[in-house]
Structure 1
Amino acid sequence: MLEHGAAPPSSEPPTAPDPVPSPGFVGRLARRKPVELLVAESGRGEGGAALRRTLTMWQLTTISIGATLGTGIFVVLGEATPLAGPAVAVSFVLAGLTALFSALSYAELAGSIPVSGSSYSYAYATMGELVAWICGWCLVLEYGISVAAVAVGWGEYLDELLHGTFGVTLPGAVSAPLGEGGYVNLPALAVIVLAMVFLMGGAKESARINTAMVAIKIMTLLLFCGIGFFGIQAGNYAPLAPLGAGGVSAAAATLFFSYIGFDAASTAGEEARNPQRDLPRAIMLSLLIVTVLYCVVALVAVGAMPWRDFAGTDAALARIMEDVTGLGLWSVVLAAGAVVAIASVVFAVLYGQTRILFAMSRDGLVPPVFAKVNERTGTPRANTVLVAAFCGLLAATVPLGELANATSIGTLFAFALVNVAVVLLRYTRPGMNRTFRVRFFPLTPLLGFGFCLWMMASLPAVTWAVFSAWMAAGLALYFLYGVRHSRLAVAVAVAGRD
């Protein structure tokens, strides 16, 4: 389905397309930002300082792995295996294929428009400012709110690790927010602050830390596979799909959300050394690595423990290791691996959120403070502090509930728009240089769009209600601030006067 290599030289003239929209208010909302302008602004921050191109292809890959490979594999088997039975590995493959369609679209656009805004920038170039804002607002939901939700999960695993290692349990008053038996969730706040400090040191230094954490969590999962292999019993694989194809597909829908995060590399477009070559490779390679790990872990897990025993357990991997070895030590090892795994998710996702807001701020749609770059470190420090403060406040004090669940629908909405953007850009800019092209066009992006809609339709009504409220707040913010401060609007006005 993939076609690598540089496309033939563009047959289009080198001049940027005219950004002037059709007259009227609706035309202003539909104004598109030329791809050439997006690329020309790449790296520039408020005040003249610029982001630094230091990230290699492998570091970009670990950013996506870091944002994807986290809580899902450590807890999701307890939810998915009772639906699919031993065929849960097939469900992982189906979920991975669903993610693949959108990943292909991300790869093409990341190679064509190598900027920090990810799907926000792609939408700006193809569907106009209002749709771009909506996409960016969805990304704030995906990245910003999920950081808080993941940080809460990190605190729970830290508590389990401390209890298993030292017999210490964190007091509920300082490990849970109001409404859940406590006053403030300090562990959740602590991991966000730690990620913030690392991110402020520079993209290159941050990437090294993230790579180390990703290596640790991959080794933890490989350790599980090595130990769990000795507990495999062939009889546990039969019957393969006790609940039929419906159970396998239902499990796949549940497991899809374990793949959210593969797009994180696309937020690093302005800090990659060779973005047009490396971004598509990093996106596809990260998805491949994550899918293989998920499938291998699932095969070992269901082979080592009867599928019915997975129901109601959030620590299936630790239980399997204990059963195989007879030692409680392994639950501590798995908890330690989970602590590192979830910390790397917080780290990578927080990074992605700051770069998306950086792009939106440079366009004038959010305040300019988010686009200020520190000259010494080459990072948007003020942006990082503000995002960390927002996420930390949520994680420490607010029971997230359905707000956290709504991150899934925000992600799917952004994925759907990316698939649409690929189609539009192919037809409006057919001669554009593309270092990565989706094959079987337009079927592949249309399938990606359809799968996203199918997943969104499967979400409960309360999630849609939360999402609708979030969108209403975002539109209000856009019409009160963004539409008045849009720098593209200023450029258009100046061009009109000239």
Structure 2
Amino acid sequence: MDRTPGPQPADAPHQHGVLDAPDEPDERSKHARRFGLPIATCLVMGNIVGGGIFLLPASVAPYGTIALVAFGVLTLGALALALVFGRLARRDPRTGGPYVYAREAFGDFAGFLAAWSYWITAWVSNAALAVIAVGYLGVLFPAVVEHKWSMCLAALVVQWLPGFANFAGTRYVGAVQLVATVLKFAPLLLVAIGGLFFFDSGNLGPFLADGESPLGAISAAAAILLFSYLGVESAAMSAGEVRNPRRNVGRATVLGLLCAAVVYLLGTLAVFGMLPHEQVVSSTAPFSDAVNVMFDGTWGGTLVAWAAVISIIGALNGWTLLSAQAPYAAAKDGLFPQVFTHKARGVPTVGVGVTVTLASLLTIYQYAAGADGVFTLLVTVTTFMATVPYLLAAAAQIYHLLCGRGDLVNRGRLAADSLIALAAFGFSMWLVAGAGYQPVYQGVLFLFAGVLVYAWMSARKVRAAQPV
């Protein structure tokens, strides 16, 4: 597969030691195919929109319709981050995204922290997604949830199916992502657009819940919604697998984010207007209830359950690929074990295998120990850890702007780029604050555990460089 970059734009990097070329060529194979703009956009959309959207309206309804304002604020922050990723990808379009940007700007240690935190986020989140999928599978096949070990087996199957799609090659990863995105967005768009024809403003309930200040309500709702936009970095993480990444990574990131935001916002608004406020607050399946209103039936639960399962499998498909990209990029630079550099059919297969295995072991532990509290804490910790590469990427953009790097800074839009970078950094800090004290405390421990791994890998690099 030819991975030679096409003609560079006028502001493409050519100085300061930045690599012009993406990753080294892979073997030519009918199973490996670089993602075009549509597939890269589906990757972003599919990874942002997982299974959580099916409960979002009920989660934020207690704060009032002011939650829609929180959606808008978060979308603007995520858009700033998306634009930063697009600008950085034009400068350095290699696989690894935030890892590459952090390492190039601040050195090996910052790059390692970005890769380490992102990797942990990915495989723990995969385990969480699989557990969520089991709940929806129970609606379709009640026997699945009759025993904890049948639930565990179902969760493992849900994890390994996308894993096998990744082993088959990027061609199949892209195909699964495209199909899953279309199938899962169909019912969501049905509610988001069709539901507006059944909209009744009398169902909206209060704009602001009793006893809440506007700022407090927005912040509280945002604490729930903050992590709905995780995955905005998906195209940047897989830049080496994207055709013409200098152009398409930025476009796919912005398009994927905006499409996901439209579905989030219109879907939540439609549910708010179709169901009485009290019903939305107490609902365990608000989209299912909304479909029942539209078609005057009781089959909405089945439809939404299928959509949720497809949504989660699509998200797992994309996240499994992303979870292997960070250690792959770091291993190429000697910051992760070299075994993670093994690549076949366009996919870092060792990284995929290790990631799915770790997620599977965590899933088995979850069902064996019944440690719901511990598992929930681990998942919350990962939401904090996901902000580490975001912060570092935004800081890298600010660093380049302050240095006046000629390969990155367009003088005509310096002010706009600076404001966007600062907004992205502020958004990332908001993500950290929204995680809460305990997850941040636990997450720092995870980061410090990675320092030991960094010391080991750095020592190996020094020994390898010493003459025998």
TM > 0.5 between the two?
A: yes
2:424 aligns with: 448
Q: 1:469 offset after TM fit, Å?
A: 1.9
1:81 aligns with: 61
Distance 1:458 1:383 in 2: 30
Q: 1:284 offset after TM fit, Å?
A: 0.5
Q: Please report the TM-score for the alignment, with normalisation by the length of structure 1.
A: 0.83
Question: Root-mean-square deviation (CA), in Å?
Answer: 2.7
Structure 2: gaps (5+ residues): 1-6
2:23 aligns with: 42
CA contact (8 A) 2:49 2:228 kept: yes
1:151 aligns with: 130
Q: 1:274 to 1:139 in 2, by over 3 A?
A: same
CA contact (8 A) 2:119 2:324 kept: no
CA contact (8 A) 1:359 1:371 kept: yes
- 377, 392, 399: which one aligns with 1:402: 377
Distance 2:189 2:417 in 1: 37
Render the CA deviation track for 1:204-247: whole Å, top value 9, x for unaligned: 22101110000011101012235533542121235433455232
Q: How does 1:240-251 map to 2 (within 5 A)?
A: 240-242=207-209, 243-246=212-215, 247-251=217-221
| Residue 43 of structure 2 corresponds to residue 67 of structure 1 | no
1:103 aligns with: 82
Deviates more, 1:385-394 or 1:54-63: 385-394
Distance 1:207 1:274 in 2: 16
Distance 1:264 1:156 in 2: 26
Render the CA deviation track for 1:231-290: whole Å, top value 9, x for unaligned: 421212354334552323421232121111111111111111111010000000011101
2:252 aligns with: 282
1:193 aligns with: 160
Distance 1:421 1:82 in 2: 38
Q: 1:9 to 1:135 in 2, by over 3 A?
A: closer
CA contact (8 A) 1:227 1:321 kept: no
Q: 1:44 offset after TM fit, Å?
A: 5.3
Render the CA deviation track for 1:345-395: whole Å, top value 9, x for unaligned: 111111101111111111111111111122xx2332233222211112212
2:200 aligns with: 233
Distance 2:204 2:414 in 1: 36
- 69, 72, 91: which one aligns with 1:93: 72
Distance 1:274 1:334 in 2: 37
2:3 aligns with: none
AA in 2 matched with 1:43: E
Q: Please report the TM-score for the alignment, with normalisation by the length of structure 2.
A: 0.88
Distance 1:197 1:268 in 2: 18
AA in 1 matched with 2:132: G
AA in 1 matched with 2:248: D
Distance 2:347 2:434 in 1: 39
AA in 2 matched with 1:278: N
Q: 1:42 offset after TM fit, Å?
A: 1.4
Render the CA deviation track for 1:151-187: whole Å, top value 9, x for unaligned: 1111111112223xxxx453323145xxxxxxxx111
Render the CA deviation track for 1:394-418: whole Å, top value 9, x for unaligned: 1232342201111111112221111
2:309 aligns with: 339
Name the SS for the 1:262 alignment partner. coil
Q: 1:55 to 1:438 in 2, by over 3 A?
A: farther
Distance 1:429 1:114 in 2: 20
Q: 1:135 offset after TM fit, Å?
A: 1.1
2:174 aligns with: 207
CA contact (8 A) 2:96 2:237 kept: yes
- 433, 437, 446: which one aligns with 1:461: 437
Distance 2:89 2:244 in 1: 11
Q: 1:201 to 1:309 in 2, by over 3 A?
A: same
Q: 1:273 to 1:441 in 2, by over 3 A?
A: closer
Distance 2:347 2:188 in 1: 32
Distance 2:409 2:91 in 1: 5
Q: 1:65 to 1:476 in 2, by over 3 A?
A: same
Distance 2:153 2:276 in 1: 38
2:35 aligns with: 55
Distance 1:318 1:160 in 2: 12
Distance 2:131 2:96 in 1: 27
Work out the number of aligned pairs and report it.
Answer: 449
CA contact (8 A) 2:203 2:273 kept: yes
Q: 1:351 to 1:401 in 2, by over 3 A?
A: same
CA contact (8 A) 2:55 2:284 kept: yes
Structure 1: gaps (5+ residues): 18-33, 177-184
- 367, 374, 389: which one aligns with 2:357: 389
2:4 aligns with: none
| Residue 298 of structure 2 corresponds to residue 320 of structure 1 | no
Name the SS for the 2:278 alignment partner. helix
CA contact (8 A) 2:155 2:363 kept: yes
Percent pairwise identity: 24
Render the CA deviation track for 1:313-362: whole Å, top value 9, x for unaligned: 33111122224434221110000000000111111111101111111111
